[in-house]
A = this chain, B = another copy of it.
Amino acid sequence: MKRRSTATKISYQGEPGAFSEQAARSFFGKRCVTVARESFREIFDDVSAGKSVYAMVPIENSLHGSVPQNYDLLWKHRLFIVGELKLRISMNLLALPGTKLKNLAAVYSHPQALGQCERFLTSLKGVEINPFYDTAGAAKMIAMEGRSDAAAVASSQAAADYGLAILRAGIENDHRNFTRFLVVAKKESHPRRRPKTSVIFATKNVPGALFKCLSAFALRNINLLKIESRPLVGAPWEYLFYVDIEGDARSEECVNALAHLRELTSSYRFLGSYETGNIVHP
């Protein structure tokens, strides 16, 4: 897929400075137009209604797992995955320009972000650690209230958005914190290299049902990259499976495998073929 640097609209969930916005700018370039929405449902609706060309959808975090709500939205909308990006989630200590580490009396952020930076934060002596509802929201508060004795833990994008300085970068304990984002659009993409393909399907809850479905791939030596089951809401004995495989859906072996899979499933949705995403360090 071509990465555009002009006015392509991309919807994301969160406040300006959220990691989802950072993902959009990493993927589409700094000059793309990002549209902030409160809920994931709205970003899917934007693309369906043609208000935005793309939605930037977080689907999985290395520490916190999958985002099932977004799999459900993919299942319900007639949209396609056209790209993928793995964003290193890096936490930074942000403060008003001129604020020194030794002047800090308090640090604010979302409890999850505070937890991820526990080691660094406990090294600060005499500083109060305060939970706040949102990472970007904490940065905004420091800037709006002109707090020269406080700092926020948030993204570098939040620093740029609210005119804060980065006092310390990369203060998280575990540097293996990544969020995988999917780029969702109305039209299918045609990956040129490192293709992967995603499908969602349902099977009856009978012994061996999933085993038979996976035979469609195993018998053709197609590599499975991810699998996840989820009870189908409203249908107590049926299960949804989210599956990523290696390969382009237009290749002969994938065409055959997906046709075979459809014979074995009670419902099925093709989500698209796209290029395997790179890891991006913001």
Interface of A toward B, CB cutoff 8 Å: 39, 62-69, 110-111, 115, 131-134, 137, 176, 205-208, 210-212, 214-215, 217-218, 221-224, 226-231, 233
One complex includes copies of this chain to the number of 2
Closest beta carbon of chain B to A208's beta carbon, Å: 4
Closest beta carbon of chain B to A169's beta carbon, Å: 23
Contact of A229 among B39, B63, B228 (CB under 8 A): B228
Task: List chain B residues, Cβ under 8 A from A206.
Answer: 223
Q: Which B-chain residue is minimally distant from A130 (CB atoms)?
A: B133
- Bound-complex Cα distance A224 to B222 (A): 22
The 10 closest A-B pairs by CB, nearest first: A131-B133, A211-B218, A208-B218, A65-B68, A207-B221, A207-B223, A211-B214, A65-B66, A227-B229, A228-B228
Closest beta carbon of chain B to A212's beta carbon, Å: 8
- Bound-complex Cα distance A227 to B224 (A): 13
Task: List chain B residues, Cβ under 8 A from A226.
Answer: 229
- Bound-complex Cα distance A223 to B115 (A): 38
- Bound-complex Cα distance A133 to B114 (A): 11
Known: A133-B133, A227-B229. 13 other contacts (CB 8 A): A62-B233, A64-B67, A65-B68, A110-B133, A111-B133, A131-B134, A206-B223, A207-B218, A207-B221, A210-B214, A210-B224, A214-B214, A227-B227
Closest beta carbon of chain B to A37's beta carbon, Å: 13
- Bound-complex Cα distance A137 to B131 (A): 10
- Bound-complex Cα distance A137 to B42 (A): 29
Decide: A223 and B205 in contact? CB cutoff 8 A. yes
- Bound-complex Cα distance A149 to B11 (A): 37
Cβ contacts A to B, 11 pairs, < 8 Å? A62-B231, A62-B233, A65-B66, A207-B218, A207-B221, A207-B224, A208-B218, A210-B214, A212-B218, A224-B229, A227-B227
Contact of A211 among B110, B137, B215 (CB under 8 A): B215
Q: Which B-chain residue is minimally distant from A67 (CB atoms)?
A: B65
Closest beta carbon of chain B to A107's beta carbon, Å: 13
